[in-house]
Structure 1
Amino acid sequence: MPNRSGLAEKYRSRIEDITDNMVIAMPMSKGVPIMLQRGEVFFGRLVEDCVAYEFTTSLIAKQLQPLPAWIITLPYDVKKIQQRAFVRIDTALPVQIAEIIDGKVVEDKIINAVTKDISGGGVQIAINRHWHIGTNLLITVNYPEIGPVTLRSQVIRVQQPQPDREVFWVGIKFLEINEKDRGNIIKFIFKRQLEQRRKGLE
């Protein structure tokens, strides 16, 4: 965020809570709270497992109790620096998959699978089926607190971690997703990361 000279400055904080918005510890400089106007946009950086993610947000309000904090909007324009475009987290969620052939969904051959990891831009699943890169799919991911989200998608990566086992890790990219669904997924990911971080401190 800019200082009085208009130059960008960096301040440390931490995520305290995630609900409809995000609560972060009030940034300080030499023990003095950073002054920011309501509605002002700023950039954040989150480091998770030695990987950095950048995002955009804005200040909604400030609070002093129970701890000095800022209430900010949920992050958007989340980017993994110089790598993936979205934050990714390992988690197992049920998925239903149907192939799309010649533009038509093959509804009589639904396949059940489980995610290996998820992001706002796609999922990776573990499955005993091999698809070619470029295969179009209609997938339904059942997200806790969000519900099922059905999206047209495409296979972009296939790995076989153990050559002697017919189990594949399939990377799937969302082709069509509205910003509301993407925002809900990213919110779920940030909330799950916060829960995992808190468990690690117990």
Structure 2
Amino acid sequence: MSREKEKVEKRKYSRVKVSFPVECIVLPERKSFFYTVSKDLSLGGVRILSEKFLPKDQEVKVNINLIDEMALIKAKVVWCSKERYSERYYAGLRFLEINEQDKTNLNNFIRKVS
């Protein structure tokens, strides 16, 4: 079994490639925030492309525009790596706290775009 296939099988939720604006609020102080863009999304998290490096385990609140709805979700940085030939970073964020309404809206959005 290939290593890539093993990674896919470990995922709890399937991901969809989708690009949309994301606001990230750095916790716990909430004084720092930045805007970025998503690269893919699932019910468990989001991958973003950012000009800002995010250290592993940093907690953030992500404000996601789901076209008809907004979702504000607490997340944690699982990994962050520099984009090749660029000063930007890819980061994987795992959702930590998501209320039922945001989860429903997120699920509906994922079904629409997949």
TM-score category, normalised to shorter length: 0.7 to 0.9
* Structure 2 SS opposite 1:188: helix
The equivalent position to 2:11 in structure 1, one of 66, 80, 84, is: 84
Q: Give the paired residue count.
A: 109
Q: Please, what TM-score do these two structures have when normalized by structure 2?
A: 0.84
Q: Secondary structure at the match of 1:169?
A: strand
Matched AA of 1:96: E
* RMSD of aligned alpha carbons: 2.0
C-alpha deviations, 1:137-171, integer Å up to 9, x for none? 111011112x2111111100112230x31111111
Aligned-partner Cα distance in 2 for 1:181–1:149: 5
Contact 1:97 1:112 in 2 (8 A): yes
Instruction: Report if aligned partners of 1:87, 1:186 keep a CA contact under 8 Å in 2.
Output: no
**Which aligned pairs between 1:27-38 and structure 2 lie closer than 5 A?**
none
Instruction: Verify the 8 A CA contact 2:53 2:89 in the aligned structure 1.
Output: yes
Which one has the largest radius of gyration?
Answer: 1
Cα deviations across residues 89-116 of structure 1 (Å, max 9, x unaligned)?
A: 1111111111113xx322xx32011101
Helix, strand or coil at the partner of 2:13: coil
C-alpha displacement of 1:131: 1.1
Instruction: Report % sequence identity.
Output: 25
Runs (4+) of structure 1 exceeding 6 A deviation are none
| Structure 1 unaligned blocks of 5 or more | 1-50, 52-80, 194-202
Counting only pairs closer than 5 Å after superposition, residues 112-191 of structure 1 correspond to structure 2 as 112-145=35-68, 147-162=69-84, 164-191=85-112
Contact 2:72 2:102 in 1 (8 A): no
Q: Greater helix percent: which structure? A: 2
Determine helix, strand or coil for the equivalent of 1:124: strand
Q: State the Cα distance separating 1:174 from its structure 2 match.
A: 1.0
Unaligned runs of 5+ in 2: none
Whole-Å separation in 2 of the counterparts to 1:123 and 1:82: 17
Higher relative contact order (CA 8 A, sep 6+): 2
